Amino acid sequence: MGKAFELKATSKCGTCKNLIKEGDIFDIIYKDDDSGKIKQLICDNCDVDDRIQAYRDTKVVNSKLSLEAHMAQYYFEQDGDLKQIRAEARRFYMKYKKDLLEIAEGTDKIKGVIREFETNHWIPYLKKYWNDSKERGHEAMVGKIKVLMWGCAGRVLVTVSFDDQSVTMIFTDEKSQLTPNGGQQGIDATVVVATKMLETVTSEKKLEFHPEEAVKLAGL
C-alpha cells in the first residue's frame, strides 16, 4: 500500500507557485506514466481558472462544471453578495459569473429536453422494457447517435453519445412513478451538441433497444 500524501511546508502550486497550506483546497496531478508519482499540485484558484479557460476554448461542459454552475446560479438567486459561502467559492462565482450563468442556462435547456424524453419514451414503454429484462446493459442506435442503458438499485442511466460527446440521464424504475422526475446525471459535451442529440433521440417514435453485455454504467 502506498504512503498517504502529506503536505509539506514547502508545497506549492505548480501554476502560480504560491504555497499550499493545510486546509487549502487543491488537486493532485499525477504523471501520465502509470508510476503513481505526483507531477504537481494545483491550488483551487488555478484549477478553476483552467477549467473556465477550457470551457471558453471548447464550450464543452463536464459534470463538475455543470454542478458548479448550478450552485453559483442558486447562490446568486438567493444572495447576490454570496456572504455565506467560503472565500474560494465566492471568488470563483464572482470572477466567472457570466460563464457560470451561461452554463447553467444552457444545461437548464438540456433538462427540458430530458423531461420530454422521459414523458415520450421512458414512462410510456422504456421503463417496462427495462423492468421486464433480466440484462442490465442495453443499446440502441438513432442514426449515428448511440443510446446506452444501464441500471442498478432502482435507478437507470441512459447515455446519449456521438463521437466523443455525451450526456447521461437518470430515471427511476419504480412502476408506480407515472410523472416525470428524472434529470441529468452527467455531461461531457457542448450544450449545442447535447441538446441536438437529445432532441434527435426524443423525436423518434420508438427506440429499439437490445441487450448488450458490453454496456457498463451506460458508458460513464
Measured CA distances, 62 to 129, 170, 183, 186, 194 (Å): 30, 16, 15, 7, 11
The rounded distance, in Å, linking the Cα atoms of 26 and 42 is: 5
Give the tens place of pLDDT for each residue, 150-191: 998 899 999 999 999 999 999 999 988 888 889 999 999 999
The domain segmentation of the chain, as residue ranges, is: 10-44, 45-105, 112-219
Give the tens place of pLDDT for each residue, 41-55: 777 777 788 889 999
Tell me the pLDDT band of 143, cut-offs 50, 70 and 90: very high
State the pTM of this model. Answer: 0.81
203-215 core/surface letters (b: 16 or more CB in 10 A; e: else): ebeebebeebeeb
